[in-house]
Each structure stands twice: as C-alpha cells, then as structure tokens.
Structure 1
C-alpha cells in the first residue's frame, strides 16, 4: 500500500490552501472521503477521524446558520480529533471561522471549485487506487479488445513476443516484465506498470522498444482490469486434449480468483491468435453463451 500525504491531494486536484500550509506533509491514513454530519450535532461514536473531511454546501450552510458561540462548539468538537485535512467544495466563501480553527490546530484547510459529489468520486477513486493492497508479478499485462490479460511463463518462453504480436494486431500493452497488481475491490484486480517500465517492451534479439513511439499512443494504456490469467508453457506431447469444454481453473492473487488457461507453445502455432480467442470466449461466457451447449443443442435437433 502506497503512503500518501495531503500535498499529493493538493497537487493532484489543484486545491487552494486556505490554512495550514506548513502541514501539507500530514499523512492520509484512509482512502475514503468523509462528510461530517452527525458529528456537527455532537455524535462521534463512529467518527472517521483518519479520513479527509469534506464540507459541501449543506455542511457550510448549516454552519452559517449557527450563532458564533454554537459554531465554535460544533467546529471545535471536530478539529480536536485532528483529521488529515478539510476540503471545502464549490469555492464557498465566508470561511474565516474555519480558517481560524484550522490554523490554531495546524490542520490544512483546502478549497476546490468542484461540486461536492464530483470531488468525492474523484478523490475516492484516486485514493483507492493509490492505497490499494498490491503485489508485483513477473509477466506481461495486455488489454485485448477491452479485456485485461496477465501473460505468465518462464523467462524466455515468449511472453513479450506474444504481446508484440498482439500490439501489431491493434491491442494494447499495459506492462512488461514487472506487472503491478492492485486489489481495488473484493473482486477487482487492476493491472498496471511500476512507472519505470511504462510503454517499454523488451524483445529478445531486438532489445528495448517504446511501443507508443513505435506504433502510436493507442498501443499502450496505463491500467486495465485483469480478468484472465494465461500461462505460456513449452510444448509437451499428449499433454493437451480436445474436450468440448475444459474445466475452468483459477489462479488467486490477494484472494481474488482469476480464470487460468495454459497455452503450450510450438513452432508455427499462432499463440497471439489463441490469446485473442481466449479473451473473446471469456467475453461470450460473461454474456451467458457456451459454444459447447450450442453445439449439443444442434446435435439434439438432428436426432
């Protein structure tokens, strides 16, 4: 999990700093943004004090209706918990009392012109990805017709060469060699690069290439949801079969089960084409279509 500080949020969203400029290195421990509501009326049993506190029009308008004495109490009850920062949306004004308390308690007070719901969605997405549990895997990550695939196999088996063929056919590279997997949800696995290898693909006998420079910007994308795990292995006689439908196997990454397929390599075999077939077949299955069931129905009709 990556650590993130208030300064990262300020730079990402171009936030205006109204108070606490010396405290922008404060850590943000939790990824979700919190809108204080019950806390303003004194209920703190489940206060998310480690979250960014978001103040929209409802919250600020409510504070404006209070007397100075009562407002001091309401705000004082929250700032004493020292949340990472406060963010005010809609470029709202009349915040002298907020600025005063945040300066006294050394809490950053930030402002954005964005709508409350919009900022909350963007911030939650940004923080969720950055702070998600993650791991690295040796392999190649590609996006084939909108479907994220992790290609694995021993060094030299042909992962990068297969990815290169896929790119030439109009698909996209996400990461080569070092694939960063992030768990952004209970069943969501995001594949991306480590930054250093972004856009680069290493080809034996050729060397390092930049796919965006060589084939255009459409040859690369920054991240993709990984839904297939394909392992490339050396050919073994009598190791494969021609079953109408193979039993689905799975590989687990951070407790997320991803369908696993093994593709054996042999000179002349169109491996990239088989990867495309696997991706498209996975998509059809998500739509409820089974080629085997379709075939069996045709047999029944002939009887």
Structure 2
C-alpha cells in the first residue's frame, strides 16, 4: 500500500500558518515532489501536476497581483483542484483574497511560512522523501565495518549476534540487532536502523540482552547506516559448491534495490568476524576498481597462453 502523509502533519512539523481551507487538513500527500505553478498562473494548465504540494513564492504572487480579479479567481479555481494536497505561500507573503475564497469553498488548505521559497522547498522535500520512502523490516544484524554497512542474515541461531559482538570488540559499530528497519531513498540507496525499543541492544544466547553503548561506549554504536553489502551465513554443506575465487557476483533484492551478497558457510573453527572484516575491505577495493580474483584469472590465462606458445 502506498504511503501517505497528512497535510496536518506537514503543518505541525514546519509550524505553518493556516490561512484557509482548514477542513482540508486531512488531505493526503502521496508524492515527495513539490511544484511551483508558474505557467499555471499565466493560464496554462495542460500538464499541471495536481497531486503535488503547490508552492507560491514571490514570483508567482507578484504575477497574480497583476491580473484583474476575475482572472485571478479563474486561475485559483483551477489551482484548487480536488487532488491538490495543499498550497503553501513562502516568505510570509499575503494570499490573494480570491485564493482564500476558493480554497475555503473547495476545502484546499492554504498555508504560509516565513521561510524563503528555495529553502522551504528543500526542507519539505527531504521530509516527504523520508516519510514516503518504501520500507521493510528484515531479520538480521546491521554493522558498520570499515565504513561499509554490512547486513548479516541467516537462520535463527546461526551466530549473527555473536559475530556482531566480536566485531564490536574489534572496534566496529553496531547499528541494529535482530530486526533491521530498512528505508529505500529515491535514488535507490538503502538505509538501515534499529527499532526504538531495541536500539543499541544485542541478544546473546546464554547471556541475555546486553546494551552495547553502555558496555563499549558511544563509539560502538550508530543510529543508522547505508547498506552496501549483505553477508548471508549458512550451515556448511558438504555437497554444495562454494565460490572459491570470488568471480561470481551474487546479489539479493531488498525492496526494489539489488545489493551485493556474499554467502559464507559456517562451521566450527571459522572466525566469522575476521572473514567479514576482509569481505568489507575487499568490497571497498572492488569499488575502487581493484578485483583480486579478476587479476589472478587474467594472469593465469596469460601464463597458460605463454606456455601454449612455447609448446608450439
């Protein structure tokens, strides 16, 4: 189900003044894009995005004031569409009386802010992007290792929390344990955080719940982190072929974004914390353009080719 933000929530968050259309504060905002109806003030409504929050700045208000009363009213009737969430005037400017009349008739909220148009536009866009972003909750552990947000997944009891504890002891940072709330931004990035109830907490079987920030200090935790890599832990299977060179690029889809995934088989004697540290460093190297597996394969191919030429 698409997310929605009530106009009343926007009013409370930005302390907007209500000028007209108070009965329409229950209207929903469904998109994070804003719109400045410049051409519409001149009468061109062919491609008017009525579903967006409408911003009227100094340019729009000064142009409207040049029109006669009948023209202003006609423009305002078309601007106050039944799909329009609200209209916001910036810079503390006065609203034309025709706008207030039509807005009250159609129950379209007209709001006012003293903030400059460009600044207010940026702030509201950020707010709506955060509120309307697609979200998901995944069972796993999110840690910050060498600046890389790593989401550790796997079956219950496989050792995700214990691995996270070892990583914290090695000076890395915990973001979330057990439940990771993930938000997808408009550019496809995934940001993970912990639910408020379990923030900074780790559950260790046999030990119970511990507070990582209390035990290890504020530097051992983060409130959120962008997810760059998923590490899937699974019980070692003798009959399964695991990637030994690192040439196979595995991905997993979270919400609508594909994320690089590394599958690590778990069995006694393997130091998962060290392996995850190396995976994080190797991930950073690949992003910088260096791929050790590819370099090895190219050298091997050259060596085989040279040997074949010598044989000929």
User: Under a length normalisation based on structure 2, what TM-score does the superposition of the two structures give?
Assistant: 0.83
CA distance in 2, matches of 1:154, 1:82: 46
Q: 1:126 to 1:94 in 2, by over 3 A?
A: closer
Give the 3-state SS of the residue equivalent to 1:170 in structure 2.
coil
1:138-173 CA-to-partner distances (Å, cap 9, x unmatched) read 111223233222110110111112222223333333
CA distance in 2, matches of 1:133, 1:82: 22
What is the CA-CA distance between 1:84 and the residue it aligns to? 1.0
Q: 1:80 to 1:242 in 2, by over 3 A?
A: closer
1:156 is matched with 157
What is the CA-CA distance between 1:238 and the residue it aligns to? 7.7
CA distance in 2, matches of 1:184, 1:45: 30
Residue range with higher mean Cα deviation, 227-236 or 146-155? 227-236
Whether the 8 Å contact between 1:82 and 1:107 is mirrored in structure 2 is: no
Unaligned runs of 5+ in 2: 307-312
Q: 1:272 to 1:65 in 2, by over 3 A?
A: farther
1:95-137 CA-to-partner distances (Å, cap 9, x unmatched) read 2524443333322222233332333233223222322233322
Larger Rg, first or second structure (1 or 2): 2
Q: 1:241 to 1:79 in 2, by over 3 A?
A: closer
Q: 1:216 to 1:59 in 2, by over 3 A?
A: farther
CA distance in 1, matches of 2:116, 2:5: 23
2:273 is matched with 272
1:212-259 CA-to-partner distances (Å, cap 9, x unmatched) read 444344433333322211111223458576844331111122342211
Match status 1:94 vs 2:94: yes
Whether the 8 Å contact between 2:232 and 2:264 is mirrored in structure 1 is: yes
2:50 is matched with 49
What is the CA-CA distance between 1:285 and the residue it aligns to? 1.0
Whether the 8 Å contact between 2:252 and 2:258 is mirrored in structure 1 is: yes
CA distance in 2, matches of 1:146, 1:8: 35
Residue range with higher mean Cα deviation, 207-216 or 125-134? 207-216
Match status 1:10 vs 2:11: yes
Give the 3-state SS of the residue equivalent to 2:263 in structure 1.
strand
CA distance in 2, matches of 1:20, 1:250: 49
Give the 3-state SS of the residue equivalent to 2:139 in structure 1.
strand
What is the CA-CA distance between 1:41 and the residue it aligns to? 2.2
Match status 1:189 vs 2:184: no
Residue range with higher mean Cα deviation, 14-23 or 131-140? 14-23
CA distance in 1, matches of 2:128, 2:134: 12
2:310 is matched with none
Q: How many residues align?
A: 301
Whether the 8 Å contact between 2:20 and 2:110 is mirrored in structure 1 is: yes
CA distance in 1, matches of 2:197, 2:6: 22
2:263 is matched with 262
2:309 is matched with none
Aligned CA RMSD, in angstroms, stands at 2.9
Residue range with higher mean Cα deviation, 96-105 or 222-231? 96-105
What is the CA-CA distance between 1:294 and the residue it aligns to? 5.0
Residue range with higher mean Cα deviation, 131-140 or 286-295? 286-295
Q: 1:297 to 1:161 in 2, by over 3 A?
A: same
Whether the 8 Å contact between 1:249 and 1:261 is mirrored in structure 2 is: yes
CA distance in 1, matches of 2:59, 2:138: 45
